[in-house]
Amino acid sequence: MTQFNTSWQGNKFLLYLRSLLFFVSTTITMLMIGPIVLLLVFFPFEYRYRLAMFWVDLVQWGAKYFCGIDYRVQGLEHIPTDGNVIYLSKHQSAWETLALFKILPGRLVFVLKRELLWIPVWGWAMSTLKHIAINRQLKKVALQALISQGTARLREGFSVVIFPEGTRIAPGEQRKFNAGGALLAQRSGYPVIPIAHNAGTFWPRNSFLKYPGTITVRIGPLIQTKGRKAQEINQEVEAWINATMREIEGRR
């Protein structure tokens, strides 16, 4: 279902046209690059990862030049240069599932629902990129997979991106954070960095329409996790993200 940005005022015909051009260009490039990623399954991982990043570049280019969506990043200085981390991010749209690949340094894997890997071409290609796919219907099994695979990926040199809300949340809304990411941090000992953004204002969830504007991405201070309980870590992350979202969205 298409969601409308009620604060946006402009030419609706151009809005639909630009969104259509973006959709067509994204689909065509995905259908071109996805099969190549699959064919590269017999080659070193780095080949597939670089090609996937090239597609992300194309999508970001299309979002900017077709839809007028740009972004600014604050807080990059909080990311350590000498190690990988666990990112716990606000989740409002599909934008951040792509853009964070370009914003954050190093190699990333995402925690995602396994059904996404069943999507023809795109999902199949994603399945070759070492992401952590979980069955959200079986919570205990999903948590075990998150901890075991997440720890393995961290030790392999990846940073792990987790959306603790579990699903995309509309701007202005909040949902209690799941503790899986914080539990991974407690068990693995790797530090956490929280991320807040307002992508849903310009790229609404489940929406064909994309609205012009500049997304604000704010990266929080590094949170050490060794010797701390998951509940304490989770509460600190949730408090920081919720407070930062109120600032970004102009709420009290």
What are the structural domains, with CATH classification, of the chain? Answer: 70-248 (3.40.1130.10)
The predicted structure's pLDDT at residue 154: 97
Secondary structure (H, E, C), the chain: CCCCCCCCCCCHHHHHHHHHHHHHHHHHHHHHHHHHHHHHHHCCHHHHHHHHHHHHHHHHHHHHHCCCEEEEEECHHHCCCCCCCEEEECCCCCHHHHHHHHHCCCCEEEEEEHHHHHCCCHHHHHCCCCCEEECCCCHHHHHHHHHHHHHHHHHCCCEEEECCCCCCCCCCCCCCCCCHHHHHHHHHCCCEEEEEECHHHCCCCCCCCCCCEEEEEEECCCECCCCCCHHHHHHHHHHHHHHHHHHHCCCC
The Cα–Cα gap between 133 and 130 comes to 9
Q: What is the pLDDT of residues 190-235, one digit of tens each?
A: 999 999 999 999 999 989 999 999 999 999 999 999 999 999 999 9
Label residue 7 by pLDDT band (50, 70, 90): low
Query: Is the Cβ–Cβ distance between 173 and 195 less than 8 Å?
Result: no
The b/e string for 197-218 (b: 16+ C-beta within 10 A; e otherwise) is: bbbbbbbbbebebbbbbebbbb
Q: Using pLDDT thresholds of 50, 70 and 90, give the confidence band for residue 172.
A: confident
Task: Please tell me the distance from the alpha carbon of residue 34 to that of residue 49, in angstroms, as a whole number.
Answer: 12
* Structure-token match 């997979």, residue found: 145
Q: What percent of the chain has pLDDT over 90?
A: 83
The 3 state secondary structure assigned to 89-127 is ECCCCCHHHHHHHHHCCCCEEEEEEHHHHHCCCHHHHHC
Q: What is the mean pLDDT of residues 130-155?
A: 92
Q: Which segment of 28-32, 51-55, 80-84 scores lowest on mean pLDDT? A: 80-84
Check: CB of residue 170 under 8 Å from CB of residue 91: no
The answer, yes or no, to whether residue 99 has pLDDT greater than 80, is yes
Mean per-residue pLDDT, 68-84: 94
What confidence score (pLDDT) does residue 6 get? 54
Answer with the residue of higher pLDDT: 114 or 250.
114
pTM: 0.93
